[in-house]
Chain A
């Protein structure tokens, strides 16, 4: 699986967009970029995934650069309940269950 690099922490004002970056320069052609988050004392929650096109769902948008070396997760209107650790990981189909979360980004949404 691709090694990913994320900033350790970020703050975001409530109601504003939260943009969480991730570098994955070693990602291979068949690896998808997945984003999960984990709110304190809860299980990880799937957010979104993509291969090379931008993706949007009811939770977030995922912007992947054309060279696929980095991506940005966008929470369009952050709320206090979005405070969590966000993990970006690269997974190929065969290993998509072998989740290895790095340290992730601790997002704090400030009132």
Chain B
């Protein structure tokens, strides 16, 4: 089974702090994604990556950046956390390589609270 591991289940940070959310997958997937999930707004795509050192903006990239130095690891960075970034953050991965219909495998999420 694919395992997508997010480093923290719960995080509490202060406004203005730099926040790192880490995600690791163990199935040699090429594609990795970061979403946030909010009540009433559903899942929204922040950033994704098709390969090492490559990144693409999703629907709501403002206030976030990402890093993918190794294939198995995809990091989400909040440069200066704000209260409107309080949310559940979900990392996902999928096979890629032209296999467009391969399903997404999600981690268990990081619930971030910015105070």
Chain A residues proximal to chain B, CB less than 8 Å: 32, 34, 36, 41-46, 49, 91, 93-94, 96-102
Contacts and interface: CB of A to CB of B under 8 A. Distances in A.
B26 to A, nearest CB: 15
26 contacts: A32-B101, A36-B104, A41-B111, A42-B109, A43-B4, A43-B90, A43-B106, A43-B107, A43-B108, A44-B90, A44-B104, A44-B106, A46-B103, A46-B106, A49-B103, A96-B100, A96-B102, A96-B104, A97-B45, A97-B48, A98-B59, A99-B45, A99-B104, A101-B42, A101-B43, A102-B42
Contacts, number: 50
Interface residues of B, number: 23
B106 A96 contact: no
Given A93-B100, A93-B101, A99 B43 contact: yes
A2 to B, nearest CB: 15
Given A43-B4, A97-B45, A99-B43, 6 more contacts: A44-B43, A45-B106, A91-B101, A97-B104, A98-B59, A99-B104
A91 to B, nearest CB: 8
A29 to B, nearest CB: 14
B94 interface: yes
A90 to B, nearest CB: 12
B74 interface: no
Given A97-B33, A100-B43, A34 B103 contact: yes
Contacts of B109: 41-43
A99 B59 CA distance: 11
Main secondary structure of the interface of A (DSSP, over half): loop
Given A97-B33, A97-B48, A49 B42 contact: no
| A-B interface, 5 closest residue pairs, ranked by CB to CB distance from nearest | A93-B100, A43-B106, A46-B103, A43-B109, A44-B106
Nearest to A51: B101
Nearest to A43: B106
A2 B38 CA distance: 22
A22 B48 CA distance: 29
Given A32-B101, A46-B104, A97 B43 contact: no
